Amino acid sequence: MNIISFLSNLMIPLLLFLIVGYGLANKVNIFDAFVKGAADGMKVVFGVLPTLIGLLVAIGLLRQSGFLEAVSKLLKPVAETTGFPAVLLPLALIKMVSSSAATGLLTDIFKEYGTDSYTGYLAGLLMCCSETIFYTISVYFMATKDERHHAVTDGRWMLFGALLSTFAGTAASVVLAKALT
């Protein structure tokens, strides 16, 4: 275990050393390259910031309005026939938009049901087997809209594939949680 700790402590300094060494070997002005990269990164941040703020406000409104609980009550009969507790529906929905908001819901679920319960196992697996689909897609579209040669013009298959993958991850989480408890 000490070797793993030692290697993990070395990774970032080693990576920095390799990047600087590669730049020096290729006669690149490292400082100018760093400044240009930082400037490009700030442009991306400012381009994506309105989308992020909109997503965070929408998540806060959904949580506070009771909409997620209403959806859970509506879908409870369907969800529980598949072995998916209705209490986890808000987690599954929010995880598609924001991982940090889903982590807050996960903490609430762990406090109420425990980490070793079926609901706790399933909630933990859901967090691992799903992705922040809408957040990732919106950030990707915003970051690439100015890049003509990389611009995405038709994202319907991307959304379909992401939703299908999330559904498959959710189904796998149910199967794994049943096996663990």
> pLDDT tens digits, residue range 102-129?
888 899 999 999 998 999 999 999 998 8
Report the amino acid identity of residue 15: L
Residue pair 96/132 in contact by the 8 Å Cβ criterion: yes
Domain-located, residue 33? no
Domain-located, residue 9? no
Domain-located, residue 31? no
136-164 tens-digit pLDDT:
877 777 666 655 555 566 667 888 888 89
- Distances in whole angstroms, Cα of residue 109 to Cα of each of 2, 88, 142, 181: 34, 8, 33, 17
| Phi and psi, residue 98, nearest 5° | -145, 125
Does the predicted model carry a pTM greater than 0.75? no
Domain-located, residue 16? no
Across the range 87-107, mean pLDDT stands at: 87
Domain-located, residue 143? yes
Across the range 21-47, mean pLDDT stands at: 89
Domain-located, residue 1? no
- Map residue 1 onto helix, strand or coil: coil
Domain-located, residue 13? no
DSSP at 157 = H
